Amino acid sequence: MFTLNPLRPEKHINSQVFYIGEIMPTVTLLKEKFKPKLSKYLDAGLRKIFSSNDRVVVKLHMGEKGNPYYLKPELIQPIIATLKLIGAEPVLFDTPTLYHGERATPEKYLRTAAEHGYEETIISCPVVISDDSINVKTKHLDVGVSKVIAECDGLVAASHVKGHACCGFGGAIKNLGMGGVDKKTKEKIHTYSRPKLNPERCVGCGQCKQVCPDGAVKLENGLPVFDYSKCWGCDQCIVKCESQALTPRHVLFDELLSESAYAVLSRVKKKFFVNYLINISELCDCLSDPGKILVEDIGILLGDDIVSIDKASNDLITEKAGYDIFEKVHSKSGLMHINAGAKLGMGKMDYKLRVG
């Protein structure tokens, strides 16, 4: 078992986040005039961090079957090409899902990935799906960090930014906190955050039933009753409970998610993050129907600070919408898990946006 040492971000005042905008509405390909800018920023960023012969894991979500908005191979190819120019050895990677579906086992996931264009003969690098892990202890969790990530020389997290019922929105922290760990850890995150009721505080307002996205709450004799077989521990009911009658079983989902991402990053010395603010859907790429598009495409962010890049993503989307659209849609702000990550020392909330 490995025990975490604190992650200590660099002592600069602001992290730098690079922004490339004006993506095509179809988002299947970058506009030709922006390809050189993306390659330029990737080359500068990746060359500064990675070296020749480094085995670099490119962690991404390759999309549930039927989902139209997952990151397409055309958007990942520039990362692979740049790593190869450096002399590094890229490997595309993800973990199988906790829920039943077409990515629940490595075998099923590889088939789905191939259908989406993620196959070695097409993408020009190995594609690996594995649930093997090593144990890293955090404050509330024994995290099963992916062995593939733990044994790599470096990590690039390529994240599709979109809405998520459990954490407001999913970006780089979600990509690693849920996607970089084994099934046992995924289950812990979803169950440790399930609500508990203090009936003495409950006023019977029914707000918990109204906000629950999975129909896991009903009222009996004026008090909420939870069907935990339907509950994913999203904590929307807890966050919205004005009487504070609900508390998590252990700790909020957002803190657990950030702890899990923290554990993953603790095993990686070299890391870089690419957030794609395109096809910003209501729900996650884990669903065949991810709901409606919330705002128009914004662009791509690049940087070496996971907190800053997710904070910048949230800020740009909020600016585009004119309000915190994730809080409105999912009854909780994405800032909750970003703040939790900052408190753990994963990165800086303050950043300088450099526009390409």
- Residues of the chain within CATH 3.30.70.20 domain(s) are 194-248
Could you report the per-residue pLDDT of 3-45, keeping only the tens digit for each? Answer: 344 444 444 457 999 999 865 444 445 666 677 888 899 999 9
CB–CB of 248/196 below 8 Å?
Answer: yes
Of the chain, the percentage scoring pLDDT greater than 70 comes to 93
Which residue is it, tokens 């490997």? 91
Domain with CATH 3.40.50 in the chain: 2-188+252-355
Position 38 scores a pLDDT of 87
Q: How far apart are CA 354 and CA 341, in angstroms?
A: 22
Decide: 45 and 78 in contact? Cβ < 8 Å.
Answer: no
Q: Among positive and negative, which fits the CA dihedral 185, 326, 234, 213?
A: negative
pLDDT digits (tens, 9 = 90+) for 231-285: 999 999 999 999 999 999 999 999 999 999 999 999 999 999 999 999 999 999 9
How is residue 109 written in tokens? 């996931």
Q: What is the pLDDT of residue 1?
A: 36
The residue-averaged pLDDT of 79-91 equals 97
Mean pLDDT of 201-210: 95
Domain topology for 194-248 = Alpha-Beta Plaits (3.30.70)
Mean pLDDT of the region 191-220: 95
* pLDDT for residue 166 is more than 50: yes
pLDDT value, residue 13? 57
What fold, for 2-188+252-355?
Rossmann fold (3.40.50)
Q: What is residue 22's predicted lDDT score, i.e. its pLDDT?
A: 66
User: By mean pLDDT, which of 33-47, 119-133, 185-199 is the weakest?
Assistant: 33-47
- The pLDDT, as a whole number, for residue 269 is 94
Query: Model-level pTM greater than 0.75?
Result: yes
pLDDT of residue 33: 66
